[in-house]
Structures are given as structure tokens and as C-alpha cells.
Structure 1
């Protein structure tokens, strides 16, 4: 007899904002708190500038330089896959379907709950233009302005990583 057991999907949450608004710092703080709470968390980061994770002199670098378009390296405690192609966000999320939570840095237009970083007044336009805004994370001199301008929106300060992590944790637990 075959059982249709429902598998719980990971909670996906985006941290978005303009450059140098504190996205990576907030994500790292929230990640540490969730990890300490026993949650398995994956991270997907968008890089608009290109990146290189491999370095001259390594075997995988030599493989890539020789023409490999896909490379996997595996050890007892780590797996890395490098591909010479862009991957879609849905594909990447699918690769992490066994985690409790997937934190995404960037991909502003994606349709997932998001915390928007607000450092200065010009950043507030994101709150009205992006899909699925769940809250704002504001630098100290912007907190009250955002609370007044966007009444009803959950607003955290940049020092409130613990509160933001608890909000995410509530959704993980479903």
C-alpha cells in the first residue's frame, strides 16, 4: 500500500534592499539565531556582478579551465557544485527542499515574503513597489519615519535581528 505522506516545504524568506544597506549582516545574524534554535537553514545569494569561487592551483580550477561546464567536489562533510550557467531561483530552492528554511539575499522581484532593508529615505520606495513585503528593517534614523509612513507594516531596527529571526521561526514551525 502506498502512502501519500505530505512533506513539509521549507519556509522561504527574502532579505532585500539596495547595495550597502546591511542585507548580509542581517542575514548572518538571523542565520546564527535560527541555527542556534536547531533549524537547518540554506542561503541563496544573488550577485549582480559575477563571482568566482574557485582559485588557481586547485584541481577543480584546472578542470574548469580545461572546459568542464559542471564540477562537483565532495568530501565527508561538504559538497560544492559549480556550473557555468545561470540557475533560476525556483531550481535553486528545489535543491534545498530538505531544509527548514531558505534565506534569500536579493532577487527583489521574487514572490516570497521579504524583509526590506531601509537605510535612507530613498529606500522606502521599495516598500510600495515590491511583491510580498512582510516587513522593513530600518537603520536607526529611519525607523520612526517608516512606522509613520507605512502604518501597519512590521518594522524592525537593524539591531532587532532576534525579533526578525523569531518571526521567521514562527513561520518555519507553521
Structure 2
């Protein structure tokens, strides 16, 4: 298991998880925190383009294709079954924190993004939560932040995980 802290952002579709995560990443970067992100996509995805060299390599039978440039690196690996979050985080190094969007069933600490217009309940139990980001008031024993308060959440993460800043 990775020694890098892993925090999972969860919430129902359309609550603003990605928007809030963007704000949180910017806040952490302003503090010189090195951030990795993982996005869980239950629908599947393809980052390769038909006809391109890496696509052609995969079509020829390569199970793993890497592409590298002076500023970017990507690794495309075909898998027989979905990888577990801990398998993915074990491959990540050189960062201070890993923020995950999705993987709501993982055992990692969670920050739930919630909008009262979407649901009157939370997806997570209080024991799973580091915090709630919401436009509703919750009294469940964890900090509750406004939907715009990425600074407050960054402060919480910095304090909890000793992130430099």
C-alpha cells in the first residue's frame, strides 16, 4: 500500500466533484504541494487515437504502450479486469498526496461533495468521512465546508497529512 495519503472525493453525479477538485488542486499547488489525481470511470475510456503510432502498437498486440515527450508521459495498459485503487496508487511516486474522484466503495478517507438539490442524504457514513463539502448543514461529527471553500479543505488536508505550505 502506498505511503502517500490517498483521499477520495465522492458524491452523486452533477454535484460538482470535478469543479471542486480543480479548486482544491489549485489551492494545494499554491502551497507547493505535489498532487496526483486518479479519476474512476465506470464507463470505460480510450485516450489513444485510431491510426496513431501508439494505437497501432496496441492493435498489433502490445499489452502495455508508453508514450513520452519532453513534457508528458503516458502509460496505456490493457487489463483483464478493473484494477483496484490500491494497485493504482502503488504505481504513483514523487507526490505528496493522491486525490481520487470516484472509487466511492474504497476504504480510503473520503470528502463528500453534496448538493441539497441532488439528495437529502450522504453516500458515505460519518466514519468514512474526513469532511463534507455542501450547501446544506450537516451535524455528523466531521468538518463541513461550503462548496466554494477549497482553501478550508486544503487547510484540513495540510494539517492532517503534514503537507508543506
Shorter-chain TM-score tier: 0.7 to 0.9
Shift of 1:126: 1.4
List runs of 5+ in structure 1 lacking aligned partners.
1-7
State how many pairs are aligned.
Answer: 159
For the Cα contact (< 8 Å) 1:110–1:131, is it kept in 2?
A: no
Does residue 1:126 correspond to 2:115, yes or no? no
Q: Deviations over 1:91-144 (max 9, x none)?
A: 11111133100001111111111111111363524133x752111111x3xx22
User: Matched residue of 2:22: which SS?
Assistant: helix
Residue matched to 1:159:
148
User: Matched residue of 1:109: which SS?
Assistant: coil
Residue matched to 2:42:
48
Q: Deviations over 1:29-64 (max 9, x none)?
A: 111111121111100110011111111232111112
CA distance in 1, matches of 2:26, 2:87: 25
Residue matched to 2:99:
103
TM-score (norm 1): 0.83
CA distance in 2, matches of 1:48, 1:56: 22
Q: Which has the higher helix share?
A: 1
User: Matched residue of 1:80: which SS?
Assistant: strand
Shift of 1:153: 2.2
Shift of 1:155: 0.5
Does residue 1:169 correspond to 2:163, yes or no? no
For the Cα contact (< 8 Å) 2:114–2:122, is it kept in 1?
A: no
TM-score (norm 2): 0.87
Residue matched to 1:4:
none
Q: Which has the larger radius of gyration?
A: 1
